[in-house]
Amino acid sequence: MKKPELLAPGGSFLSAYYAIEAGADGVYLGLTEFSARKAAANFTFDQLRRIRRLAADRGRKIYVTLNTIIRESELRRLADVVSRLEAAAVDGIIVQDLGVLWFLRRRFPGVPVHASTQMAVHTSAGIGFLKQLGVRRIILSRECTRERIRALRQAHPDVELEVFIHGGALLRILRRLPRLRRAHGRSGNRETVPRSAGAISNARGTETPAVPGAFSSPAATFRWERRSLSLPGPAWTPSR
């Protein structure tokens, strides 16, 4: 069986560095713009180039989130950002906006695109639709059960799937509820995601388990998860 790729959040240069040193196969991170985690330190392009070189030297991967809803007036700037990400040879760009997905496939066909968990993909039809659009990896909705994840894997063996395996208690269905804006005065799709919006997946599995949490370093968690993936036993152990 294919060994899973274990991913860590990189809310800052140091957290990404320590995640890699702790055994993460890859890090997903945001820039100072177009990232839903604005409260995190995030990365300048100079920092991105540095962490990309560090990851490449260790055989690890770097994925960049462009996971806000993009306004029409921002498309020119978005094109400039993606052009620089392509030049930096990042391993994938994570998006939630279908308009951005269409834009990337037309303007930057060589850039690997991943569908964010914010797309709330949880059905075979949803996966099939995104495959037709050229998405390489789909980060499944956090509410998917183990049985659902297993069924989706069997139905679509030709696309990479990713699930979250750690995080806070699940308090809402992704970022769809308007109470986030009422309670915190900001949108989870455009601005800072409050900590109460954290979630936990109820399964470890697929090719790519990922640990959420852009605000802190998950080094201890990753040491445990890296060890657990190397132990004999069931291929997929539920994370409770």
Reduced 3-state DSSP string for 122-153: CCHHHHHHHHHCCCCEEECCCCCCHHHHHHHH
pLDDT tens string for the chain (240 positions)?
A: 677 899 988 889 999 999 999 889 999 999 988 987 766 778 999 999 999 999 999 999 999 999 999 999 999 999 999 999 999 999 999 999 999 999 999 999 999 999 999 999 999 999 999 999 999 999 999 888 899 999 999 999 999 999 988 655 444 444 455 555 555 555 555 555 544 433 333 334 455 556 554 444 555 565 656 666 665 444 433 332
Please, are residues 111 and 82 in contact by the beta-carbon 8 Å criterion? yes
Query: What pLDDT is recorded for position 191?
Result: 52
Query: How do the domains of the chain map onto residue ranges?
Result: 7-230
Q: Which residue has the tokens 């240069």?
A: 13
Task: For domain 7-230, say whether CATH 3.20.20.380 is its number.
Answer: yes
Beta strands in 67-197 (DSSP E): 92-95, 113-115, 137-139, 160-164
Give CA–CA dist 26/47, Å, rounded: 16
Whether the full predicted model's pTM is greater than 0.95, yes or no, is no
